[in-house]
Amino acid sequence: MSKLLIGYVEIPKLSIMKDEDIRALDVINLAFGHVIDGDVVCDMEEAVPEMERIRAVNPEIRIVLSVGGWSAGGFSEAAFTAEGRARFAKTAADLVKKYKLDGIDVDWEYPCISIAGIGAAPEDKENFTLLLAETRRALDAIGDRHYTLSIAGGGDGYYTRCTNLGEASQYLDYVQLMSYDLRGGFTVQTGHHTNLYSNQADLSACSTDEGVRAYLAAGVPAEKLIVGTAFYSRMWKGVPDVNHGWMQMAQTTGGYGPGFAELQESYINRNGFVRYWDDEAKAPYLYDGDTFISYDDEESLAEKVSYVNERGLGGIMYWEYSCDESGTLMRALAKAMDRE
C-alpha cells in the first residue's frame, strides 16, 4: 500500500499553496473548525475558491476539516452524553456536505487532561471512542461514498493512557501521531522537540519511536499510523554554553521558534548559529552560545520517511504548510516519498 503524505494547512493559507505541493499531497487537513456550544462550526465560504483551485490541480486529493487544536475546548462536554455526541457528529457531517469536504479530522487535545483552559473528565477515555463511533456513523449516513475520519493524537504515552486507541481505531482511516512538541513550552531544559529516537544521555525518553511503540502497543494497526513532522522550531534562550546548548537548563521555556523558511534565511549556519546533528536521535539543532533551537530539516525528514517504510507504517504528516514558504521541506518529503 502506498504511504500517505498529509499536510496541515491553516485555512487562510490555502492561497499560498504551490501546484507542485498540491500534486504531491494525498490529504490536506484544514485547520481548524471548533466545537462551539456543542456544534462543530467553521465558516469556510472564503476558502471555497481555493479548494476548487486545489481540486483542479489534483483531483485525487482529499480535503479534510480538522476540528480542534491546542487550547480548543468543547470536546469533553460534547462527548459526555449520547445527545451531545449525536449533535457533534451531525454538525460535523453537515459541514462536510455543505463544503463538499472529504472527511473530518478530530484533534482533541487532550481527552482526560484539563489544560490550556479546556474542560476534561475521567469519562473522556470511554466517551472519546463513543464520539468517534457516532461521527463515523454520521459520515457513513451521507451515503454517496466513503468519507475520511481521522484523529491527531499526542506524541507521548499520556495520550494512549487516556484513550482506548485499539477500540477507537476501527472507526478511523488513520491515526496521526503528533510527534512534535515532545519538548518545549512546558520545559526549561533544552532538547529535541521532534526527534526520531531518544539519545541515551537524554533525561527524557520522548521520541517519535517511543510514541510509535506506545500507539502500536495500544492496538493501533501499523498501516493506520501516520508519523508527524514539524515545519517549525522550538527555541530556548539563556542557555549555558555546554554541549552546544543541548540538555541544559535555560532561562526560558522552549517557546515557538521560527518556521523553517526563516531558519534557512537567518539561522542555519548564519548570524552566529551553528547547525549540529545528533546522530543517535537523528535530529538537528542550532546553537549560538545563548539560544538553542530544535527543528526538523531535510536530513531528519529523510530518516523519518525511511523509518515509516521499514516499519510498515501508514505515512507522514506535517504541521504546518505556511511555516516553510520556501517549499524546502515539502520538496524533501516529496523526494523521499517518490512524489516528484
Residue 156 burial (CB count, 10 A): 20
Give me the amino acid identity at 264: Q
Catalytic-labelled residue, pool 20, 50, 109, 325: 109
Q: How far apart are alpha carbons 273 and 285 in whole angstroms?
A: 10
CA-closest candidate to residue 284, choices 160, 192, 217, 203: 192
Q: How far apart are alpha carbons 106 and 310 in whole angstroms?
A: 28
Q: At residue 299, what are phi and psi to the nearest 5 degrees?
A: -70, -45
Q: How far apart are alpha carbons 261 and 329 in whole angstroms?
A: 9
- Check: CB of residue 150 under 8 Å from CB of residue 64: yes
Torsion sign over Cα 54, 56, 62, 66: positive
The predicted pLDDT at position 339 comes to 87
Q: Is the peptide bond before 128 cis (omega within 30 degrees of 0)?
A: no
Q: How far apart are alpha carbons 259 and 266 in whole angstroms?
A: 11
DSSP helix/strand/coil, 238: coil
pTM exceeds 0.95: yes
Catalytic status, residue 50? no
Q: How far apart are alpha carbons 194 and 231 in whole angstroms?
A: 10
The predicted pLDDT at position 116 comes to 85
The predicted pLDDT at position 1 comes to 59
Q: Name the grid cell of 23.
A: 500534486
Q: What does the chain come to in residues?
A: 340
Q: How far apart are alpha carbons 47 and 166 in whole angstroms?
A: 35
DSSP helix/strand/coil, 165: helix
The b/e string for 70-85 (b: 16+ C-beta within 10 A; e otherwise) is: eebbbbbbbbbeeebb
**What is the longest distance spanned by two Cα atoms in the chain?**
61
Question: Domain residues of the chain, as ranges?
Answer: 4-230+296-336
In the CATH scheme, what is the homologous superfamily, with its name and number, of domain 4-230+296-336? Glycosidases (3.20.20.80)
- Check: CB of residue 295 under 8 Å from CB of residue 263: yes
Strand blocks (E) in the chain = 4-10, 27-36, 39-41, 62-68, 103-107, 148-154, 174-178, 225-230, 232-236, 255-259, 274-278, 283-287, 292-294, 315-319
From first to last of its 340 residues, what are the pLDDT tens digits of the chain? Answer: 589 999 999 999 999 999 999 999 999 999 999 999 999 999 999 999 999 999 999 999 999 999 999 999 999 999 999 999 999 999 999 999 999 999 999 999 999 999 988 999 999 999 999 999 999 999 999 999 999 999 999 998 999 999 999 999 999 999 999 999 999 989 999 999 999 999 999 988 999 999 999 999 999 999 999 999 999 999 999 999 999 999 999 999 999 999 999 999 999 999 999 999 999 999 999 999 999 999 999 999 999 999 999 999 999 999 999 999 999 999 999 999 998 7
Cα 204 to Cα 124, 156, 183, 189, 193, distances in angstroms? 27, 11, 9, 10, 11
Q: At residue 318, what are phi and psi to the nearest 5 degrees?
A: -140, 155
Exposed, middle or buried: residue 338 (CB in 10 Å: 0-12, 13-18, 19+)? exposed
